[in-house]
Amino acid sequence: MTSRPDTAGEPGDGVLPSDTAATDDPVVAALRQALPDRVVTDPEVLAACTADRSGHRAEAPPLAVVEAREVADVQQTCRIASAHGTPIVTRAAGTGLAGGAIAGGGEIVLSTRAMDRIQEISPADRLAVVEPGILNGDLNRALAAHDLWWAPDPASRDISTVGGNIAMNAGGLLCAKYGVTREAVLALTVVLADGRVIETGHRTVKGVSGYDLCALLIGSEGTLGVIVEATLRLEPLPEGPPTTIGAFFDSVDAAARAAAAITAGGHRIALMELMDEPTLAAVAAQADQDLLSRGRAHLLVQCDGPGAATLAESVVAVLTEHGGDVETASDEQRAAELLALRRAALPALEAQGTLLVEDIAVPRSRLAETFAAIRELEAAHGVTIPTTCHAGDGNLHPTFVVDGEEVPAEVWAAAEALFAHALAVGGTLTGEHGIGLLKRAWLPDELGAEQLQLQRGIKAVFDPQGLLNPGKVFAREEA
């Protein structure tokens, strides 16, 4: 998939001339000398770093990958890169959806994927201390032995890392009840661009000493520092299995109104996922099931913790009142089948072509009109936009299915109109995927000139040479 014209021509886009003899590059030579067994220049490894799961790809490969195993490796890499003025792209699993960890010509990839140790699990303080490269799923499997879990739960949990979550302030399915990643991180150890180390945040629940740099670093997409250790706030595992409810509706409008009514009613559901008709059609085609005769939209709700059964009864009443054909799972097997329906959405769409997954969020009262706007955009631009939605928190993933590598102009036009809609109803360009390369052109529309200037000022305080993930989040400033 090619970049939009206005995002090309910068490091990270990979259109800078690449060093074809990377091992001769003085920065690579210096890295090899300092970290002999950590530097990789295998062309296949370098090529893999030019892409993530956004569909975007840099045109030229990076100079080298440093596979850090210790904090000292990260510091050394940053010192050498600073001395040479070479950009650093921090990367772990490469599962990002906005191009935030894509590396191109002239850049060094600093991989923290191999830093995947759990340093401490403390049930007494309800926290864990981990390295950034651990997979979310692996962490939660280790925590389950202590009846604990880390609540951030992106759909990618089995392939994405904790460090990536934090760099992105990832969301997921459970945010309405359990919050986003920012709420689940107590402290961070971070290597600055020049190799110095800072410790931000607290091991305590409360702490108000100075500015909250921990919160600032969460979601900074690798542009302010390299996260090398995280202290995570844990939750006790909810007792017993959750209650799972599925409901088909005649229209996405009815499903969206039902979802909004659950929020407005103050029901503290754990998860609420909406699929529209084009998504259901894709799932039906893939599974060879006749879903559309049951309804044109589907809502999946889970209630957990104390009082889950009582809460579920209230939820069923609201869904029924809004015309839902409602089923409460009778056992864990049936609950798993209902969840599987939702999990089938992305694979079913991927079977149809290359995906451009958008990520707007809107106030929860505006869900129904946002689905109406998506249907209007489909008609106006001659495209189909299957949309899944974390309806509990108002985060939608309108998805464009593209043939081949080129994104047609009408898709960009529809995406741009979608962003404008989100901002117009008090929403945001990105609920959980981040800005990365893909959305930086629209960031000024959301932030405004004054705030953008402050954000660039903060970037300059942390990274005066502009070496950390340049061109991500912010477009390069005009000379």
- Window 355 to 384, contacts with a copy of itself (CB under 8 A): 361-365
The burial of 138, by beta-carbon neighbours within 10 Å (0-12 exposed, 13-18 middle, 19 or more buried), is given as middle
Residue selected from 103, 411, 418, 429 as contacting a copy of itself according to rule CB under 8 A? 429
Q: Is 399 helix (H, G, I), strand (E, B) or coil?
A: strand
Distance (Å, whole) CA 422 – CA 107: 34
Q: Which residues contact 162 (CB under 8 A, 6 or more apart)?
A: 130, 132, 133, 134, 135, 136, 139, 150, 230, 232
Scan residues 78-117 and list those touching a copy of itself (CB under 8 A). Answer: none
Dihedral sign for Cα 238, 241, 243, 247, please. positive
Scan residues 159-178 and list those touching a copy of itself (CB under 8 A). Answer: 168-169, 171, 175-176
Residue selected from 54, 90, 243, 263 as contacting a copy of itself according to rule CB under 8 A? 263
Residue 301: its H or E element: strand 297-303
Binding mask 243-262 for a copy of itself (x = CB under 8 A): -----------------x--
Per DSSP, the residues of 350-377 read: HTTSEEEE---B--GGGHHHHHHHHHHH
Q: Which residue, 111 or 189, is less far from a copy of itself as judged by CB?
A: 189
We find the least distance from the C-beta atom of residue 402 to a copy of itself, in angstroms, to be 24
Q: Which residue, 282 or 303, is less far from a copy of itself as judged by CB?
A: 303
Q: Which residues contact 409 (CB under 8 A, 6 or more apart)?
A: none
**Among residues 1, 98, 97, which one has the least CA distance to residue 58?**
1
Distance (Å, whole) CA 262 – CA 269: 8
Distance (Å, whole) CA 78 – CA 197: 11
What is the gyration radius of the CA atoms in the chain, in angstroms?
Answer: 23
Residue selected from 44, 206, 379, 478 as contacting a copy of itself according to rule CB under 8 A? 206
Residue selected from 213, 316, 338, 373 as contacting a copy of itself according to rule CB under 8 A? 213
Scan residues 291-330 and list those touching a copy of itself (CB under 8 A). Answer: 305-308, 310-311
Distance (Å, whole) CA 458 – CA 398: 32
What does the block give as tokens for 271?
Answer: 């998860």
Axis-axis angle for helices 252-264, 308-321 (nearest 10): 140
We find the least distance from the C-beta atom of residue 220 to a copy of itself, in angstroms, to be 6
Q: Which residue, 113 or 366, is less far from a copy of itself as judged by CB?
A: 366
Q: Which residue, 28 or 155, is less far from a copy of itself as judged by CB?
A: 155
We find the least distance from the C-beta atom of residue 100 to a copy of itself, in angstroms, to be 10
Within a 10 A sphere around the Cβ of 309, how many other Cβ atoms? 11
Residue selected from 266, 293, 331, 409 as contacting a copy of itself according to rule CB under 8 A? 266
Scan residues 27-66 and list those touching a copy of itself (CB under 8 A). Answer: none
Scan residues 214-243 and list those touching a copy of itself (CB under 8 A). Answer: 215-216, 218-220, 224, 236-237
Task: Kindly state whether residue 428 participates in binding a copy of itself, applying the rule CB under 8 A.
Answer: yes
Residue selected from 113, 421, 433, 472 as contacting a copy of itself according to rule CB under 8 A? 433
Number of residues that bind a copy of itself (CB under 8 A): 92
We find the least distance from the C-beta atom of residue 361 to a copy of itself, in angstroms, to be 4
The 8-class DSSP code of residue 183 comes to G
We find the least distance from the C-beta atom of residue 422 to a copy of itself, in angstroms, to be 9
Distance (Å, whole) CA 143 – CA 141: 5
CB 217 within 8 A of CB 190: yes
Residue selected from 417, 458, 465, 476 as contacting a copy of itself according to rule CB under 8 A? 458
Scan residues 176-205 and list those touching a copy of itself (CB under 8 A). Answer: 176, 179-180, 182-183, 192, 196-200, 202-205
Task: Kindly state whether residue 450 participates in binding a copy of itself, applying the rule CB under 8 A.
Answer: yes
Residue selected from 37, 210, 288, 330 as contacting a copy of itself according to rule CB under 8 A? 210
